[in-house]
Amino acid sequence: MRRLLPAALAAAALFACTSEAPQPSEPVSPAPASQGPSEGPWTGEQLTDRVFAHLEAFQRIADGNAGTRAHDTSGYDASLDYAEQSLARAGFTTSRHTSEAVVEENSTAAVRVVQGTQVDLGTVEPMTRTPGGEATAPVALTTDPLGCTLDDYAAAKGAVVLVQRGRCPFTEKSALAHEAGALALIVYNAPGQGDLRGELADRDDLIPSVGISDAAGAALAAAASEGGIVVQVTVEESRETIQVTNLIADWPGTGDGDVLVLGAHLDSVPAGPGINDNASGVSLALTLAERLAAEGRADGLRVAFWGAEELGLVGSGAYVKSLSQEEVGRIAGYVNLDMVASTNGLIGLYGAGAPFEAFSAELERHDVGYQVLSITGASDHAWFESLDIGVAGFYTGAGEPLSGDEAQRFGAPPTPHATGAITSPATPSTRSQRPRSASASATSPPRAWTA
């Protein structure tokens, strides 16, 4: 694990993204900026300036391309060009990896009560990668509302099962219901969490699975407990094959040695420029790569920028599935940078294994307060984690509120009326409505995230 030196170095540099942005003296063109100091260690101020130079470049790329850098747009292509030229100027050997991937597009779902007490089910969302189909059957409740063991599905045979979100992944709930003989699965959200859209692995042992709100689920559960309620569940799935392009950059001379992969997704959502999500992670990764190269310490570093993350971790999944067993064995660890420039001041660390321990030790050595997060599968680290590769990642938040306690810990003003702890990065308020998690193997997409 000697290649993990860059991970510890990255910990000291992370906080450039959470500092106040300097005022630019002149517009930054979306073209490779200067490489920064060529001799001697970089100062914190130089790191901050460099990160924001990249951020400004990505903003200008979006401004010049209909306001977005999403997959399969000119903004994404320009982002690829910019990142590739920046890494090449720093001395890395770059390559683009393009492959086909199947993604879900515009699937629909509906649930209606055809017999018994009428219940307003509100918005019904299909689980990502759910099988299609239609089932009309009585509603059955699980013994334990969370339904994470086969024994919980004693009444499931020939029924539509209603289960609450929590404790185990959505994929596991669907697989257990299938094993017990259920025809379809309805998952309702945790209390106070509103509508639910989850994600399943691409497996053959699942049944049509949909999500509804906590309120709708509670009402349906109450009606089902009285007996005699029958529902019709309809899921129409739609999938398409897309081309996804990742950018991979290795330091010359790495050869067949171990590598530390420093990764971030390069695409934005279609609705915006994606500066925090995730030009911030890309900008920090570029800055760290440039710094390590300038200081002669980039040996063993691989930088990876993923495409189509916002469509369901597609780019990182395609990359991991392309690796041979030997190539997997050479990866000493994976460091993920996703949403690291929030103004709310949170310093969140997640992961397991040597990279996580290296970051933890470095943060504690510098007496920097941080919060350990559990965001299993909410970002590209999920694919590496599924292969038992040690991972670490940073998350600084989005627009979610900070509690007073967190504001004191992280030096940011508390959000008015904030009473609870910061929400997980995988909740609908902070990420897209596609919660995610790592799969049991790298042959299928990551399992659904559960809170």
Query: What is the value of pTM for the model shown?
Result: 0.68
Cα 387 from Cα 323, distance rounded (Å)? 11
Supply the DSSP string of 199-238, one letter for each residue. B--S-SS---EEEE-HHHHHHHHHHHHTS--EEEEEEE--
Exposure of 253 by Cβ count < 10 A (0-12 exposed, 13-18 middle, 19+ buried)? exposed
- Backbone phi and psi for residue 129, each to the nearest 5 degrees, phi listed first: 70, 20
Instruction: Identify the helix (H) or strand (E) that includes residue 392.
Output: strand 391-395
> Residues 352, 358, 361, 364: is their CA dihedral positive or negative?
negative
Q: Are 60 and 28 in contact (CB under 8 A)?
A: yes
- The confidence score (pLDDT) of residue 401 equals 58
> Does domain 108-236 correspond to CATH entry 3.40.640.10?
no
- The confidence score (pLDDT) of residue 403 equals 64
Q: Are 396 and 373 in contact (CB under 8 A)?
A: no
Amino acid occupying residue 254:
T
| Domain 2-101+243-410 superfamily per CATH | Zn peptidases (3.40.630.10)
- The confidence score (pLDDT) of residue 415 equals 43
The domain spans of the chain are 2-101+243-410, 108-236
User: Could you identify the residue written with the tokens 């509670």?
Assistant: 218
Q: Are 185 and 131 in contact (CB under 8 A)?
A: no
- Backbone phi and psi for residue 211, each to the nearest 5 degrees, phi listed first: -120, 145
Instruction: Write the CB contacts of 7 (distance below 8 Å, at least 6 apart in sequence).
Output: 260, 333, 335, 355, 358, 359, 392
Taking Cα atoms as reference points, which of 248, 313, 258, 264 lies closest to residue 10? 264
Instruction: Write the CB contacts of 285 (distance below 8 Å, at least 6 apart in sequence).
Output: 262, 263, 264, 303, 305, 337
Residue 290 annotated as catalytic: no
Q: Are 210 and 185 in contact (CB under 8 A)?
A: yes
Cα 415 from Cα 400, distance rounded (Å)? 9
Q: Are 193 and 163 in contact (CB under 8 A)?
A: no
Specify whether the backbone of 93 is left (phi greater than 0), alpha (psi in -120 to 50) or beta. Answer: beta
Q: Which residues of 304-343 are buried (b: 16+ CB within 10 A; e: fewer)?
A: bbbbbbbbbbbbbbbbbeebeeeeeebbbbbbbbbbbbbe
Specify whether the backbone of 181 is left (phi greater than 0), alpha (psi in -120 to 50) or beta. Answer: left
- The confidence score (pLDDT) of residue 267 equals 97
**Marked catalytic residue, from 84, 199, 290, 309:** 309
Q: What is the pLDDT along the chain (451 residues), one digit of tens a residue?
A: 233 334 445 443 443 333 344 343 333 444 444 445 555 677 888 888 999 999 999 999 999 999 999 999 999 999 999 999 999 999 999 999 999 998 877 789 999 999 999 999 999 999 888 999 999 999 999 999 999 999 999 999 999 999 999 888 788 899 999 999 999 999 999 888 889 888 787 678 999 999 999 999 999 999 999 988 999 999 998 888 999 999 999 999 887 889 999 999 999 988 899 999 999 999 999 999 999 999 999 999 999 999 999 888 899 999 999 999 999 999 999 999 999 988 777 889 999 999 999 999 999 998 888 889 877 667 899 899 989 999 999 988 765 556 667 667 776 554 433 222 222 222 222 222 222 232 223 333 332 222 2
DSSP conformation class of 134: E
- The confidence score (pLDDT) of residue 359 equals 94
